[in-house]
């Protein structure tokens, strides 16, 4: 079993607040990681080899307990899904549920998404990138910790194929404004939120644990979709 043990970058978009792992989560990590897990290496991944087939690859960053990722994989068996998460209990839960559901089109990485994008994902290789309910870091002094920053947006754009899309969701209005500002200023991205394609993408998104929690608190949820339309920015 290989997890990411390398030093993390100075400013991180997450905090490792791992809760205690259940016996079933520990068992899943030990027994199922060889089947579903992907190690963080210095070379770009060969998706065809990892999934054992050629198919569109969708990257989900920060999948939590993996319920939304698993639902998408079940509903869209024609796609391959790569999920990134830093919290091992959530990974254990997803691995257990993947096996129970007989799902074969999901692979998992335990790593920092920025490091994965910089070192492991080939350019022009992804059909979509999904980022649902990342930590909004609401306090102003913590805004620098937000994952959606110009460097991150440019990395995502480079990894997407032409016509690929970046789908984001948040229940924090101010963070939605920040996301839209950053992505709108990234060359090669154009917003398609509100258009026909957006409607089909957002309608098919399964709710996440964080979304349900936000709705219970009365937060409005915003989905944003940006499409890669050009090669500008290289």
Q: CA nearest 133: which of 212, 65, 226, 210?
A: 210
Helix (DSSP H) and strand (DSSP E) numbers for the chain: 9, 7
Q: Is the pLDDT of residue 190 over 90?
A: yes
- When the candidates are 3.30.110.40, 1.10.150.120, 3.30.420.40, 3.40.50.150, the CATH number that belongs to 23-228 is 3.40.50.150
- Mean pLDDT confidence for 163-173: 93
Residues designated as active site:
135
What is the domain partition of the chain in residue ranges?
A: 23-228
More confident site: 163 or 198 = 163
Q: CA nearest 121: which of 58, 71, 169?
A: 58
Please tell me the pTM assigned to this model: 0.85
Residue 81 confidence class, pLDDT cut points 50, 70, 90: very high
Mean residue pLDDT of the chain comes to: 86
Residue 218 confidence class, pLDDT cut points 50, 70, 90: low
Give percent of the chain above pLDDT 70.
78
């Amino acid at each position: 079993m290989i997890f990411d043990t390398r030093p993390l970058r100075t400013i991180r978009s997450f905090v490792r607040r791992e809760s205690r792992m259940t016996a079933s989560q520990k068992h899943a990590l030990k027994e199922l990681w060889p089947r579903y897990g992907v190690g963080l290496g210095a070379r770009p991944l060969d998706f065809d080899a990892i999934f054992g087939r050629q198919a569109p690859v969708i990257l989900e960053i920060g999948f939590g307990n993996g319920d939304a990722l698993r639902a998408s994989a079940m509903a869209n068996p024609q796609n391959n899904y790569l999920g990134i998460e830093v919290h091992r209990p959530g990974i254990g839960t997803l691995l257990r549920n993947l096996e129970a559901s007989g799902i074969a089109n999901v692979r998992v990485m335990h790593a920092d998404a920025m490091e994965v994008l910089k070192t492991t994902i080939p350019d022009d290789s992804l059909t979509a990138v999904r980022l649902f309910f990342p930590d909004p870091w609401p306090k102003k002094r913590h805004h620098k910790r937000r994952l959606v920053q110009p460097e991150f947006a440019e990395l995502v754009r480079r990894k997407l194929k032409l016509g690929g899309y970046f789908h984001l969701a948040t229940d924090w209005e101010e963070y939605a404004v920040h996301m839209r500002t950053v992505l709108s200023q990234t060359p090669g991205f154009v917003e398609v939120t509100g258009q026909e394609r957006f409607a089909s993408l957002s309608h098919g998104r399964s709710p996440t644990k964080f979304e349900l929690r936000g709705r219970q608190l009365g937060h409005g949820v915003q989905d944003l979709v940006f499409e890669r339309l050009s090669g500008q920015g290289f």
